[in-house]
Amino acid sequence: MSAIPSDQPHNRPPAGARAPVRRVVIAGGGTAGWMVAAGLSKTLGPLLDIKLIESDEIGTVGVGEATIPSLQTFHSLLGIDEQAFMAATQATFKLGIRFESWRDVGRDYFHGFGQTGKDHWTAGFQHFWLKGRQQQLAADYGAYALEAQAAQAGRFAHLPDDGLHYAYHLDATLYARFLRSFSEALGVQRIEGKIVSVDADAQSREIRALQLNSGARLEGDLFIDCTGFRALLIGETLKVDYEDWSHWLFNDSAVAVQTASVGDAVPYTRSIAHPWGWQWRIPLQHRVGNGLVYSSRHVDDEQARQALLAHIEGTLLTQPRVLRFCPGQRQLAWSGNCVAIGLSSGFLEPLESTSIYLIQRAIIRLVQLFPGAGIEPADVVEFNQQTRDDIEHVRDFIVLHYHVTNRHDAPYWQSSRGMPIPASLQHRIDLFRQTGRVFRVAGELFSENSWAQVMLGQGLMPKQHHVVAQLMGDAELARFLDGIRASVDQAVVQMPPHQAYVERYIGSARARAGNK
What confidence score (pLDDT) does residue 11 get? Answer: 37
pLDDT higher than 90, residue 85: yes
Q: Are 26 and 52 in contact (CB under 8 A)?
A: yes
Q: Average pLDDT, stretch 5-20?
A: 46
- Supply the CATH number for residue 220's domain: 3.50.50.60
Confirm if 225 and 234 have CB atoms less than 8 A apart.
Answer: yes
Question: Which pLDDT score is estimated for 339?
Answer: 98
Question: pLDDT value at position 257?
Answer: 95
Reported as a single tens digit per residue, the pLDDT across 370-414 is 999 999 999 999 999 999 999 999 999 999 999 999 999 999 999
Query: Which of these ranges, 3-7, 30-34, 194-198, 377-381, has the smallest mean pLDDT?
Result: 3-7
Per the CB < 8 A criterion, the answer to whether 118 and 484 are in contact is yes
Would you say residue 4 lies in a domain?
A: no
Whether 64 has a pLDDT exceeding 80, the answer reads no
Query: Is there a single domain that holds both residue 400 and residue 486?
Result: yes
Q: What is the mean pLDDT of residues 207-225?
A: 97
* 201-210, 305-314, 361-370, 475-484, range with the lowest pLDDT: 201-210
| Residue 7: predicted pLDDT | 32
* Residues 6 or more apart in contact with residue 127 via CB below 8 angstroms: 120, 436, 465, 466, 468, 469
- Active site (annotated) includes residue 42: no
Task: Provide the domain limits for residue 380.
Answer: 20-91+170-245+326-393
Residues 183 and 305 in one domain: no
Q: How many domains does the chain have?
A: 3
The answer to whether position 501 is within a domain reads no
Assess whether pLDDT exceeds 60 at residue 429. Answer: yes
Phi (first) and psi of residue 140, to 5 degrees: -60, 150
Contact 487, 253 (CB under 8 A): no
Say yes or no: 181 and 216 in one domain: yes
Q: What pLDDT is recorded for position 57?
A: 75
Model confidence at 4: pLDDT above 60? no
Residue 59 binned pLDDT confidence (cut-offs 50, 70, 90): low
Of 42, 51, 94, 239, which is the active-site residue? 94
Kindly give, in sequence order, each residue whose CB lies less than 8 Å from that of residue 448, ignoring residues fewer than 6 positions away. Answer: 124, 438, 439, 440
pLDDT by residue (tens digit) across 137-164? 999 999 999 999 999 999 999 999 989 9
For residue 442, the model assigns a pLDDT of 85
- Same domain flag for 300 and 341: no
Helix, strand, coil share of the chain (percent; to 5): 40, 20, 35
| pLDDT score of 3 more than 50 | no
In a domain, 105, yes or no: no
| Residue 117 confidence class, pLDDT cut points 50, 70, 90 | very high
Domain boundary at 295, 323, 351, which?
A: 323
Decide if 477 contacts 134 (C-beta within 8 A): no
Confidence at residue 10, expressed as pLDDT on a 0 to 100 scale: 34
Say whether both 333 and 430 belong to one domain.
no
Query: What is the chain's mean pLDDT, rounded?
Result: 93
Q: How far apart are CA 50 and CA 23, in angstroms?
A: 6
pTM equals 0.93
Strands 96-104 and 269-274: parallel
